[in-house]
């Protein structure tokens, strides 16, 4: 397959600025009107009308070498090699027409044995700074011993341009926005969206494809270890809004990473060199580690700042609820660098159940672990999307379905193999609602959730007595230190038991409707809700 189109990209030193320092990139971004400094030193940038990923505009090149390995469907939608080639040519021509571009060369994968070299070419300086914070920079402690850079993947970010009607017609494509990825050419083309998270997630997607064949289990999870000993690793799986970043940023624990990891034969390693945290309603008292990490060299996306004081307003949703901050992982005090650790003793699945019917904490059997991992449940809240007037189930396989090129059962089997081999306990931790559904009940107190995590990590919860929940079959502990006993059993927190029963049956049925879409072992299917 020809790479001649990419070879025409003009990266000559007179117009391409490579691996500039964060200070230089911030200065250039401000001079170009791309962003402004907040009072805490962070660079604040706006991403236009795309304030999150554009999944309907993300497409994978359908090449013969990978076709039979891909989980084709809503997540992985194909474009032809000719369409990809055309998009690549449009992006190259556009970037060549700019007076200057920025290039970042770094790594994905803290374990050198499983590392990918990533080249990111952008028109905007702040996008290059974003790449610098999220990937592993050359010459840093996180990169380890210096070696000549070897490029494995290339990201071309032409996000400021949009496909014209003529270009769309030529590509036989019906949107001005296109995020195209080729697993065989190892190229990502971004057109029409300035949301920087597309760059980060495209490489996670690449790792999700490559790692299983290398014997590594790729995971959409955060990871931390005991701060004093550096031992007792824990994994936190969860979709946005379930507490994955918050719970991993613990003053008593040292951070390995907040979002994407691999579990190899030697242990866990971070795919990234930084963190990408939601900062809506961020407070210094609630999340001090994240608050203190936001400083010069970090990037705030779509966050409102006061025009006079430049103080960020983390409560404002003026541009989006999906406000974000990105910063190098070593901005978190005591983070482990390089970001590697041993095998986890505890694996925690996070769900924010807005129905208010799932137990706050459950110890899963191996079959239950596979079942709840494949389903990847959390809730959409009323009002978060047009037409959503009550909580609705949100199932994302493996707690990261939109990033899975391979069928979900591939990753679930890897999980089962890893927990069996290394004797890890698996837990389902509900950070959602109690005493009723969203709008009636209340969210579990963060102090209770942290008490559950403490009991999991110190081993006391594994020694507890458990009783299966009647609807979901989830084992509920009889007691947890620091948590009222009635909180452990959802039905006891509702004023109307019959209303609880109806809501629980409704959610259980949703699980069953969802699990029918997957090919899974019957013992795993039987570990689901009892309906």
**Candidates 22, 28, 51, 53; catalytic one:** 53
In angstroms, the CA 218 to CA 203 distance is 12
In angstroms, the CA 468 to CA 139 distance is 52
Residue 220 is a catalytic residue: yes
Residue 186 is a catalytic residue: no
Distance of CA 91 to the CA centre of its chain: 26
Cα–Cα nearest to 109, from 237, 256, 290: 256
Q: What is the DSSP string of 309-327?
A: T--EETT--SS-S--EEEE
**Candidates 128, 154, 202, 245; catalytic one:** 245
**Candidates 201, 261, 363, 406; catalytic one:** 201
Cα–Cα nearest to 259, from 154, 273, 341, 267: 273
Residue 240 is a catalytic residue: yes
Give the number of other CB atoms < 10 A from CB of residue 470.
12
Give the number of other CB atoms < 10 A from CB of residue 509.
13
Residue 244 is a catalytic residue: yes
When computed from its CA atoms, the radius of gyration of the chain, rounded to whole angstroms, is 23
Q: What is the DSSP letter of 298?
A: B
Burial-class residue 405 by CB neighbours within 10 Å (0-12, 13-18, 19+).
buried
Residue 201 is a catalytic residue: yes
60, β-bridge pairs? 78, 181
Residue 73 in contact with residue 401, Cβ under 8 Å? no
In angstroms, the CA 350 to CA 460 distance is 19
**Candidates 324, 345, 413, 418; catalytic one:** 324
**Candidates 114, 115, 127, 244; catalytic one:** 244
Residue 141 is a catalytic residue: no
Q: What is the DSSP letter of 397?
A: G
Q: Where are the beta strands (DSSP E) in 440-505?
A: 442-443, 466-468, 475-477
In angstroms, the CA 43 to CA 35 distance is 6
**Candidates 220, 278, 345, 363; catalytic one:** 220
Residue 365 is a catalytic residue: no
Q: What is the DSSP string of 89-132?
A: HHHHHHHHHSS-EEEEEEEE-SSGGG-EEEEEEESSHHHHHHHH
Residue 259 is a catalytic residue: yes
Q: What is the DSSP letter of 483?
A: B
Residue 102 in contact with residue 10, Cβ under 8 Å? no
**Candidates 21, 97, 164, 240; catalytic one:** 240
Q: What is the DSSP string of 43-89?
A: EEE--TT--S--GGGEEEE--TTTGGGS-BTTTB-EE-HHHHHHHHH
Active-site positions? 53, 201, 220, 240, 244-245, 259, 324
């Amino acid at each position: 397959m020809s790479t001649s189109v990419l070879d025409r990209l003009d990266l000559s030193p007179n117009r391409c600025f490579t691996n500039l320092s964060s200070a230089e990139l911030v200065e250039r971004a401000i001079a170009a009107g791309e962003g402004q400094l907040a009072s805490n030193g962070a660079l604040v940038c706006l991403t236009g009308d795309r304030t999150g990923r554009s999944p309907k505009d993300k497409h994978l090149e359908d090449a013969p070498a990978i076709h039979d390995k891909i989980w084709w469907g809503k997540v992985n939608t194909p474009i032809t090699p000719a369409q990809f080639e055309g998009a690549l040519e449009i992006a190259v021509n556009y970037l060549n027409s700019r007076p200057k571009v920025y290039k970042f060369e770094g790594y994905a994968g803290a374990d050198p044995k499983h590392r990918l070299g990533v080249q990111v070419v952008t028109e905007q300086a702040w996008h290059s700074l974003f790449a610098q914070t999220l990937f592993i920079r050359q010459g840093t402690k996180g990169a380890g011993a210096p070696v000549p850079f070897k490029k494995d993947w290339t990201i071309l970010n032409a996000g400021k341009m949009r496909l014209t009607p003529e270009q769309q017609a030529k590509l036989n494509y019906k949107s001005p926005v296109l995020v195209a990825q080729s697993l065989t050419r190892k190229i990502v083309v971004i057109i029409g969206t300035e949301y920087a998270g597309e760059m980060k997630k495209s490489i996670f997607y690449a790792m999700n494809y490559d790692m299983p064949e290398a014997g590594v289990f790729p995971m959409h999870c955060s990871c931390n270890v005991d701060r004093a000993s550096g031992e007792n690793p824990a994994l936190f799986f969860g979709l946005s809004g379930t507490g994955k970043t918050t719970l991993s940023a613990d003053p008593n624990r040292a951070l390995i990473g907040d979002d994407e990891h691999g579990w190899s034969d030697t242990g866990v390693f971070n795919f990234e060199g930084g963190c990408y945290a939601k900062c809506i309603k961020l407070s210094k008292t609630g999340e001090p580690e994240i608050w203190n990490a936001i400083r010069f060299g970090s990037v705030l996306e779509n966050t409102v700042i006061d025009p006079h004081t430049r103080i960020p307003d983390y409560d404002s949703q003026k541009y989006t609820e999906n406000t974000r901050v990105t910063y190098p992982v070593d901005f978190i005090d005591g983070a482990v660098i390089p970001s590697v650790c041993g095998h986890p003793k505890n694996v925690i699945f996070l769900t924010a159940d807005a129905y208010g019917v799932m137990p706050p904490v459950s110890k899963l059997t191996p079959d239950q672990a596979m079942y709840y991992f494949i389903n990847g449940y959390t809730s959409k809240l009323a009002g978060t999307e047009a037409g959503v007037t009550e909580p609705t189930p949100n199932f994302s396989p493996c707690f990261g379905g939109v990033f899975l090129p391979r069928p979900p059962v591939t990753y679930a089997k890897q999980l089962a193999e890893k927990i069996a081999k290394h004797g890890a306990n698996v837990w389902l931790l509900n950070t959602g609602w109690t005493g009723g559904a969203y709008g009636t009940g209340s969210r579990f107190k963060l102090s209770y959730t942290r008490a559950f995590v403490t009991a999991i990590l110190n081993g006391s919860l594994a020694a507890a007595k458990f009783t299966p929940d009647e609807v979901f079959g989830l084992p509920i502990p009889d007691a947890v230190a620091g948590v009222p006993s009635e909180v452990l059993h959802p039905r006891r927190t509702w004023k109307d038991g019959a209303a609880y029963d109806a809501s629980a049956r409704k959610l259980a049925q949703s699980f069953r409707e969802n699990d029918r879409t997957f090919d899974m072992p019957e013992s795993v299917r039987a570990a689901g809700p009892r309906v």
